[in-house]
Amino acid sequence: MSKRTKTLRDELLDKTPEICSERATIFTESMKETVGEPITVRRAKAFSDVLSGMSIYIREGDLIVGNQARSPRAAPIFPEYSVEWIEEELDGEPYYFEERPNDVFTIAEDAEEQIREVIEYWRGKTTLKNLRELLPEEANKAWDIGAIDEGWVSEGGFGNVLPDYEDLLSQGLKGIIEHAEDKLDELDLREPGSAKKKWFLESVIKSNRAVIDFAHRFANRLEEMAEEVKDPARRKELEEMQNNCRNAPENPAETFWEALQAVWFIHLAIQIESNGHAISLGRFDQYLYPYYKKDIEKGRLTREEALELVEAFFVKANEVNKLRPWSGAKFFPGYHMAENLAIGGQTKDGQDAVNEVTNVVLDATRNMGLPKPSVSLKWFEGASEEFMEEALKVVQEHSGGMPAFYNDKGVTRMLKNMGVAEEDLYNWAPVGCIEASIPGKWDFAAKGAWLNVAKILELILNGGEDPETGINLRPIEKDIRTFESGREILETFKNPLKYYMDLQVITEHMNDEVHIQHDINAFRSSLIEDTIERGKSLIEGGSVYSADGGPTVGSMTAGDSIAAIEALVFEDKKLTRDELYHALKTNFEDDGTYPTGEEVRQLLWNKGPKFGNDDD
């Protein structure tokens, strides 16, 4: 890495993240002024107000600019989604933000005061509150016992979005605005449903203009800095950065540096709009390569300069942050954002897509050793052995699982079975954790209800009853004391699993409807194909493709648990059913029995078969 990017990285990682109140305060004041207007319009106005009113900064040595909050690694607050957990943690339940075991945040006195005022306004008005009030009683109880977990509902809007950056870089946001204006001119307000389309299209125009103006704010600041700086080399950089922000993302990008800056502004704006999880960057090496190639050929860029720019981009990716409830932070430690960035794969004509930008990204991944973005490599059978060997070396040197490897052929086969058009298959990219998406065409949202399969097993082992609350939504005649085999437990699993899956689906659909009422985001939607043509946001079904999978956790834990019971209780008879029942009832904490709770726990943990060991 360069001396500059090392300094930027090290200074960033030395900083403890803070909670920023600006977005919450500006957004709330704007929403107060627009009560009664369509939600699409209200959110677009609030988004515009946030981008025009929030603090902006430029760090010493920055090559890419644009910030999400008032300081690097600071996390904004999105109170419209939920506020109860924020208030609880401000009061120290279960921890104060600054005393958490991981994902610590500091908060200034003035920021805390502002956030508490914001909480008072949003109390009883949030999407989470509305969802819980509308859900059937059974679904709410399933949520309360943890069979269905709240997932992302508390944190922000829908995520897992992947724009088509190739298209955005070639037309600029100005192209999106012109498209929306054309569709607006075509509208016949006498037609049913056209009023809602009008509001959406007007919001698309307003929100895209707000992002352009946001970029121009940085251009103005850079212009001022260039006039004041004495170092001629830095002055030249600032002047070029000013030109980058003045032109892109409004207009088509002209250089590699400008394209990187435009991608960053768009990526950042999606985060600021709704805090959705897993906002991803797509096939980074493919859409940036034409700009790299042109700049190299014209002699205005060297490979070393390109590498430094990509490293600077990686630093910016680690400046953005998300504030989660402790219930989420303890399971997703490390200020996790799931900003996926893809390299490799195949071209449209089925050739190896690896290019020099692919190798630049590998070098940046190795050099920076950062947790974000989540670099993913699409393994294509046409890739050279030399390239794959180098990628494996990067995995070893990064020591953080990057790049992750995806089987290109396996994913394209899956997508084809899902109905994705042949011409789109090659261009898929991973979004968030592992989801495969088509850039600019897919609404693949991370929704609110996680199904906890391990929790459902706990219920089954206790006759359907939740040991903590006593709630029993699906009584079962047997419990661990009366089952005769692991196979019988597995067979018993099917009925309650289906029951809780149905409640998960109900929760997901009702969550959609609540977001349609409270959370239509025009900027994010406008970046995905067909929303403008249809005059519909993503949540209303505006995209070319739309697929949801209810998130599931605990499947491997449940499988390992049943295997351990089968091995230790029914086959090897190292434990009796009563001994296991007692250990579970006492949370493995009874030291006065034989075997002790800890002895039972160790037996189950160490002596049972485990998933992932090639054991059918």
The 10s digit of each residue's pLDDT in 399-419 is 899 999 999 999 999 999 999
Quote the CA–CA distance of 39 and 104 in Å, as a whole number: 34
- Give 447's pLDDT tier (boundaries 50, 70, 90): low
Q: What are phi and psi of 209, to 5 degrees?
A: -65, -35
Neighbours of 318 (CB within 10 A): 21
Angle of helix 232-247 versus helix 194-228 axis, rounded to 10: 170
What is the per-residue pLDDT for 598?
97
- What is the number of residues in the chain? 616
Contacts of residue 186, Cβ cutoff 8 Å, sequence gap at least 6:
none
Angle between helix 256-274 and helix 303-319 axes, rounded to 10 deg:
10
pLDDT the model gives residue 153: 64
pLDDT, mean of residues 29-56: 98
Per-residue tokens: 176: 């999106």
pLDDT number for residue 443:
85
Strands (E), 478-574: 545-546, 552-553
Going 256 to 260 to 266 to 269, the CA torsion angle's sign is negative
- Per-residue pLDDT at 600: 97
Residue ranges with strand state E in 108-239: 148-149
User: Burial of 152 by CB count in 10 Å (0-12 exposed, 13-18 middle, 19+ buried)?
Assistant: buried
**What's the 3-state SS for 19-76?**
EECHHHHHHHHHHHHCCCCCHHHHHHHHHHHHHHHCCCCCCCCCCCCCCCCCCCCCEE
Residue 445 predicted with pLDDT over 80:
no
**What pLDDT, on the 0 to 100 scale, is given for residue 154?**
63
What confidence tens digit (pLDDT) does each residue in 316-338 have? 999 999 999 998 898 889 998 99
Are 312 and 244 in contact, with CB atoms under 8 Å apart? no
148-149 sheet: strands from edge to edge: 148-149, 450-452, 552-553
Distance CA 222, CA 58 (A): 8
Tokens of 352: 């190896």
* Separation of alpha carbons 556 and 415, rounded Å: 25
Per-residue pLDDT band at 552 (split at 50, 70, 90): confident
Could you count the other beta carbons within 10 Å of the beta carbon of residue 101?
10
In this predicted structure, what is the pLDDT of residue 546? 85
- Give the whole-angstrom CA distance, residue 604 versus residue 560: 9
pLDDT > 90 fraction of the chain, expressed in percent and rounded: 90
| HEC sequence for 335-360 | CCCCCEEEEECECCCCCECCCHHHHH
| Overall average pLDDT of the 26-49 stretch | 98
Q: Which of 424, 287, 434 is nearest to 361 (CA)?
A: 287
d(Cα 103, Cα 332) in Å, to the nearest integer? 9
Task: Please report which confidence band the pLDDT of residue 225 belongs to, taking 50, 70 and 90 as the band edges.
Answer: very high
Whether residue 93 is predicted with pLDDT greater than 80 in this model: the reply is yes
Condensed to tens digits (0 to 9), the pLDDT of residues 174-197 reads: 999 999 999 999 999 999 999 999
C-beta of residue 278 within 8 angstroms of C-beta of residue 159: yes
Position 434 confidence tier, pLDDT thresholds 50, 70, 90 = confident
pLDDT value at position 444?
67
pLDDT at 49 over 80: yes
pLDDT digits (tens, 9 = 90+) for 349-400: 999 999 999 999 999 999 999 999 999 999 999 999 999 999 999 999 998 9
Q: Tell whether the model's pLDDT for residue 537 goes beyond 90.
A: yes
pLDDT of residue 150: 66
Radius of gyration of the chain (CA): 26
> Partners of 282 in the beta sheet?
341
Instruction: Of 304, 243, 274, 227, give the one whose Cα is nearest residue 65.
Output: 243
For the chain, the average pLDDT equals 95
Cα–Cα distance between 342 and 340 in angstroms, integer?
7
Mean pLDDT of 548-570: 91
One DSSP character per residue, 407-465 reads EHHHHHHHHHHTT--HHHHTT-EEETTTEEE-TTTEE----S-EEEHHHHHHHHHTTT-
Residues 6+ apart with CB under 8 A from 428: 345, 378, 411, 412, 415, 420, 436, 437, 438
Decide if pLDDT at 548 tops 80: no
Token pair in block for residue 550? 């209810």
